[in-house]
Amino acid sequence: MTSYSSTGSFNRGARQGVRRTCDCGDLVGMWTAWTARNPGLRFVGCPNYKDENQDCGYFHWIDPQLSNNWYREQLLALHNLRNGQQNIVQEVGRGQHNGI
Ligand SMILES: [Zn+2]
């Protein structure tokens, strides 16, 4: 007779995850920060942030903070470059061969 008792309470651990709803009970919004301190970092927050009366102040970074200044500068520079020179992409394959 095999009997085993399951003492295993799997430790799920409350993952320090990103919540789907803020304290208002609304779905959080996701944005990307393009500040000098946190370029390119995504975060979620209360979707009612525009309204002072409704904003619950929920805010959570999704991406880890950048600890590397060089990396920050590169990201920001890249972002500014892309914004400033949107039409820099040129057609490469202009010369098409028309079969035989
Ligand atoms: Zn809220």
Residue 37 lies in a domain: yes
The whole-number pLDDT of residue 10 equals: 43
Sheet architecture: strand order including 39-45: 29-34, 39-45, 59-61
User: How many domains does the chain divide into?
Assistant: 1
Residue 77's closest CA among 33, 32, 37, 39?
Answer: 39
Q: Which two tokens stand for residue 78?
A: 């890249």
> What residues have their beta carbon closer than 5 A to ion ligand 1?
22, 24, 46, 56
Q: What is the pLDDT of residue 5?
A: 56
Q: What is the C-alpha separation between 36 and 92, in angstroms, rounded?
A: 34
CA of 35 to the centre of ligand 1 (A): 23
Over the chain (100 residues), the average pLDDT of each successive run of 10 is 52 58 95 92 95 94 90 92 63 49
- The Å distance, Cα 8 to ligand 1 centre, comes to 37
Q: Which residues constitute the domain of residue 49?
A: 29-84
CA gap 92, 1 in Å, rounded: 74
Does a structural domain hold residue 40? yes
